[in-house]
Amino acid sequence: MKKHFFIIGLIGIAVGFVFNACTTVKPIVVDNTVTPKNVLFIMVDDLRPELSMYGKTQIISPNIDGLAATGVTFERAYCNVPVCGASRASLLTGKRPTAKRFMTYHASIKKEMPGVPTMAKYFKSLGYTTVSNNKIAHMKQDDPGSWDQEWYPYVKGWRDYITPENIALEAGKGHGYAFESPDVEDAAYYDGKTANKSIEDLKRFKKEGKPFFLAVGFVKPHLPFNAPKKYWNLYDKETIKLPENSVFPESAPQVANHKWGELRAYKGIPKKGAVPTKMAKKLIHGYYASISYVDAQIGKVIKTLDDLGLRENTSIVFIGDHGWSLSEHGLWAKHSNFEVALRVPMIFSDAQVSKGSRTDSMAELIDVYPTLCELTNNPIPSHVDGVSLVENLKSPLKITRNQARSRWKNGETLIAGDYFYTEWKKKGKVTDVMLYNHSTDPNENRNLAVESAYKKVVDSLGTILNRQITAYKLSELKN
């Protein structure tokens, strides 16, 4: 009986979710007597919620933790597609990925949704100075007319090697190692240069006195895990541990077993099979060091915002573009429908929101666009699929949403309460299914979809998911 009521409840939630996703958000009235609020948009590549503020106490991330203390942290925020290009295109346009758009790392805004105003283009139309530093959109010049300046620090290969060995390996038309730890200053790497550029921009904005939309994109902890030695030294390599679920679960469908070719291309990584334990720990060490390195750069940017007296009138958002598996399920990749690839860190800091709070209300990356609009007292464009999270920012204990949706290739994932449900289709027919209950199996090791006792739950979640997909397709046709 309890299960029956739970399923009915899920369907009720789904109806509300579909309605929200397919309804134009009511614009708010702009008060022209109020000084326009600035936006500091910080995005970190391949960063899952591997941060001290998310309970990962082994991670040293004092500056991001400090940002969380001034705003609201979303415990359950999810990307809409776990790959850089598609995730960023979806986020910047506020549009969901579908089977026909925003699917791959080279997803293009100007090719796939050329008529939709991105966040940058919209804020520029409102009179904001818009600057993109380093990796915001995945493709360069992919959003014509949106940025007053689109800046990149690249003076050599994008992998940003410094050590002679890795430089030589890359010059030989191959990959170097998947990490390096030279004894250099922060600005020797691109992310350090990005922080310095952003600091100079803030100083210029202060002098000019115009509202600004400054987007700062940090590349680490994306492969290769390169960071100055001092950040590697923050961690004792002897204490690095592998996750408990380092083997692909027998009950999971093989379609979910990504081959992680991105990592295998690096020197020293086996072309087949598992990564040896010593190498695996070195990779995790490098991921941690890269996080601490980026954390330090974020701290420098936010300190400048404070020192210039701009903080009070600036809305800050901090996000990752998707997660990344550090050998969970035997994977080393972002490309999967497991939670470790879909869940992202998300913090909003603003003078009008709750301080040092957390919310369990769900959020998606497509919600960032409308949320920034409302925080800055600007109308929300009708094309945006996401919903504003301001209600959660002001009342973090209030749960306004208990569902989210993501996709990777042919896999559609519905997150509903404690359930993570994914189905794959071929020619319109379901071929594979995964179901995990996070209340009893947070690491997603037991696929309940193969157990007969959960058939009704699988059928109900499948119905909800497909109703949402159908409703969204219909709304797209109307618009």
3-class DSSP state for residue 337?
Answer: coil
Is residue 380 over pLDDT 80? Answer: yes
Quick check: is 10 in a domain? no
pLDDT in tens, 63-86: 999 999 999 999 999 999 999 999
Active site residue 138: yes
What pLDDT does residue 27 have?
38
Q: What is the mean pLDDT of residues 188-200?
A: 98
Instruction: Check which CATH number belongs to the domain holding 87 and give it.
Output: 3.40.720.10
Could you say which of 4, 22, 79, 84 is catalytic?
A: 84
Residues above pLDDT 90, as percent of the chain? 89
* 74 part of a folded domain: yes
Structural domains of the chain, count: 1
The β-bridge partners of 190 are none
State the pLDDT confidence band at 5, using cuts at 50, 70 and 90.
very low
Does 425 map to a domain?
A: no
- How far is it, in rounded angstroms, from Cα 421 to Cα 70? 34
Residue 458, domain member (yes or no): no
C-alpha distances (whole Å) from 281 to each of 165, 219, 242, 243 are 21, 21, 7, 10
Residue 151 domain flag? yes
Phi then psi for residue 473, to 5 deg, are -60, -40
72 and 359 Cβ atoms separated by less than 8 Å: yes
In a domain, 150, yes or no: yes
pTM recorded for the entire structure: 0.93
- Euclidean distance between the first and the last CA atom of the chain, given in angstroms as a whole number: 41
Q: Which of 22, 106, 138, 383 is catalytic?
A: 138
**DSSP state letters, 176-225:** -BSEE--S--GGGSHHHHHHHHHHHHHHHHHHH---EEEEEEE-TTSSSE
Decide if 355 is inside a domain.
yes
pLDDT-derived band at 4, boundaries 50, 70, 90? very low
Where do we find the tokens 């994306």?
222
pLDDT reading at 281 higher than 90:
yes
Query: What letter does residue 344 receive in the DSSP assignment?
Result: E
| Alpha carbon distance 287, 423 (integer Å) | 31
Q: How many CB atoms lie within 10 A of CB 230?
A: 16
22 is an active site residue: no
Q: Which helix (H) or strand (E) holds 93?
A: helix 84-93
Look up the domain containing 109 and give its range: 37-405
Q: Looking at 37-46, 172-181, 286-295, which range is the least confident one?
A: 172-181
pLDDT at 451 over 90: yes
* Residue 469, domain member (yes or no): no
| pLDDT number for residue 34 | 65
For residue 33, CA distances in Å to 36, 359, 370, 449 come to 9, 32, 22, 56
In total, the chain counts a number of residues equal to 479
Element (H, E) at 437: strand 429-437
Calpha distance 217→241 (Å, rounded): 29
